[in-house]
Structure 1
Amino acid sequence: MSDLKISDMMNMSHELWDKNKEKWSPMEPEHGKTFILYMIEEIGEVISVIKKKSVDDIMNDKEVREHFVTELGDVMMYYMDVLNRFKITPEEFSELYLKKFNKNMGRDYEKQYKELKFSEE
């Protein structure tokens, strides 16, 4: 596969969980927040690469880049686990993602930022 779809990643998440379900927590909403915390931990590992390596390293050093992208992949794996645990379908996620994207396309971020700064003064 050269370009994974959300549904593919969610199916892979279920497949990995199914293989380990005797040892891992159930694929239920009650365990979703734990996987959000795991995802944040992985984001910390991404940040660690950024802090310890230069942008040039991330862009041009094969080993550094592979480590960086792998950590980003770990973030996505836990993200898929969260979607699955909260029973969010690929269609539901896609619909609301696109809705938010379209809203953001119509926003004036500079104006909003200025209004926010003005209201804080």
Structure 2
Amino acid sequence: MTTQSILGNTRRADISFSPNGKIDIASCIVKALGMEKGDVIDIMVDGGEYYLYVSIHASVVFGRHEAQCYPTQNGSRHFRTYCRRLCTAILQATGNERACFAAGEMVEVNGRKAIPIITCKNLRHD
């Protein structure tokens, strides 16, 4: 008889991308980047590495913007946004239909606080 783990990988994702444009961001990323309700995110690519960063802070945002983040529930520290362009770019680059990734420690890239997205392993559990 062969034994097999039911759970397998128990690492939870820090950020997830769906084909409909939904991006869920875990509280650890929100805290590390000092995100606030209404911040606009973007992803930069540097040498094949992907970095999530706040492109426009809520304090200077006027009007509606693509990839503007809001808490998933009132008072929640998990954020969500919808941006099909970001999702499509990440999903195509990584070859996934839907993806959940871990994040690295906060770094500075081009003078901005950024979080590396570890795209080499999709943590999606089906």
Q: Taking structure 2 as the reference length, what is the TM-score of the superposition? A: 0.23
Structure showing greater radius of gyration is: 1
Q: Which has the higher contact order (CA 8 A, sep 6+)?
A: 1
When normalised by structure 1's length, the TM-score is 0.23
